[in-house]
Amino acid sequence: MDDALSSRTRLYVGVLAGVAGFLHLLLVFVGLRVGHLSLAEALFGPGAVRRGALVVGSTALFLWLGRGRRSRSALLWVDVAAIALVAGSAVLDALNRGPAQRPELASLLLVALALCARAALVPSTGARTFVVGLVGLLPLLLISRSLYHGFARTMSTVAVVGFGLALLAVTATTSHVIYRLRRRVLGARELGAYRLGAKLGEGGMGTVYEAYHALLSRRTALKLVRASEHDEQQLRREAELTSQLSHPNTVALYDYGQTSDGIFYYVMELVDGVTLRELVDQHGPLPAGRVLSLLTQVSASLAQAHSRGLVHRDIKPTNVMVCRVEGYPDCVKVLDFGLALQVHGTADAARAAGTPEYMAPEASYHPERVGPATDVYAVGVLGYFLLTSNVPFTASTLQELAWAHFSQPPLPPSLTSAHSVPRDLEAVLLRCLAKDPKDRYANGGELHEALSQCSASEWSREAAETWWSSQPPVPEKSSTRDVAVTVPEGLVTQQIPSSRLARAHENPSREPVIARI
């Protein structure tokens, strides 16, 4: 719930009700003293009834908003209804006046007051203010069309359109400026003990900042997300799932919450390191000993997640970072449990999700069967990539790629790797890549045990220290993929109902299993 939007919308409607009530009483007084109307005419004449309807309607909205917490969508509809009420009252009043009084000008003034009050009071983007302004201004064209003819109609229409466009520009700009300033101020002021630092990156759903805890002097990565009500539920679920994990090879979630302005935020461990994708891109295939060390840590992170009923579903090189922790070089951090799935009792189990090159066969064709062994398959692909700088399967289309994962045996990495690959490590990876989940290691714990028994030993802590000492320092402020909070990339996988995937399984050459959006 956006408390700021609720309180500001109620204040705005209250201002409308107050101004409408004041004008109504003022005109009643003028009618009695100047127009020499009777009390009945002043209170119950046609104009008075229309003005009274506006007062009653806006007051009713004001009271309704105060009777409990309202959803964001309800508040947005109230926003539109309030300006529509003002515009409707103005049009009806103008149509009952003669053209000699130029009633469209008075109506423009009334709507302009309402829109200016809204721009100043209601948190809104410039685009939404523009749309709401159109709702208030377009009905005023009925006045020109109904009361005037010929040249007079043209001039009246030009006046309404010209003044209306200027009003839209002013109010939309005002809303945009106030909205951005308010978001910045509230982002800095209402994030508890965290002070925002440099912006690390920005994506479609959020912005990532370096942040500092005021009392602990701890550097963190803080991600601000503006989301709909549905997105908020997903974001809270993601945060709650990640907060259950405390393994040293899993990126730590320190805090999460929502500001009074509706901005959702995560506070997570800031990792100064590189992703495995960057590591391979910059240095080529890795020696088997280092691959074994990295995969052992990845499997340890997954072992804890699997023991708590969570499946990552998107293990890939860009979601695994390696960094240098004091006393422990080559420390792995598994990122982004945003697609994490509870093995039991989750509707998302009926949908495919992940990255096609790393998805197990069941993730594409039978997503309801996704489980810990699905992550084991992805670790197998990851290990294959680290040893060879290539994934085991490639294809020109996504459906062909999914079919390759389902039907083709992988080429042993020892045949294509630039480094020697021990047989025991290769055997572990090939078992991870088994088509049937029952033929793989059941979970991260079993995989970790198998990797721990492999004999590749040319990569030691001393070797890791030497390697890191030879590298240039990792920049503290870099793109979002270099920190432990990742902004979604432009290429993602679309979630597809399992019924469609079942049809793809029956005829894979005709039905795409994954789509790019």
- Residue 293 contacts residue 330 (beta carbons within 8 Å): yes
Question: What is the SS3 assignment for 221?
Answer: strand
- Residue 312 contacts residue 371 (beta carbons within 8 Å): no
Both tokens of 297, joined, read: 């840590």
Q: Which amino acid is at 499?
A: S
Both tokens of 274, joined, read: 């590189």
Q: Please state the separation of Cα 110 from the chain's center in Å.
A: 38
Locus of tokens 């294959």: 384
Question: What is the SS3 assignment for 74?
Answer: helix
Could you write out the three-class secondary structure of 291-354? HHHHHHHHHHHHHHHHHCCEECCCCCHHHEEEEEECCEEEEEEECCCCCCEECCCCHHHHECCC
Report the C-alpha gap between 267 and 270 in whole angstroms: 9
- Residue 383 contacts residue 485 (beta carbons within 8 Å): no
End-to-end CA distance of the chain: 29
Q: Which strands form 194-202's sheet, in the order they lie side by side?
A: 194-202, 206-213, 219-226, 263-269, 253-258
Residue 231: active-site member: no
- Residue 442 contacts residue 373 (beta carbons within 8 Å): yes
Indicate which residue of 314, 336, 375, 482 is catalytic. Answer: 314
Return all residues near 21 (Cβ < 8 A) that are at least 6 apart: 55, 59
**At CB < 8 A and 24+ separation, what contacts does 70-76 make?**
70/1, 70/6, 71/1, 71/229, 72/1, 72/2, 72/5, 72/228, 72/229, 72/262, 73/229, 75/2, 75/5, 75/6, 75/9
Locus of tokens 């499997």: 299
- Residue 358 contacts residue 382 (beta carbons within 8 Å): yes
- Residue 114 contacts residue 16 (beta carbons within 8 Å): yes
Q: Active-site residue numbers?
A: 314
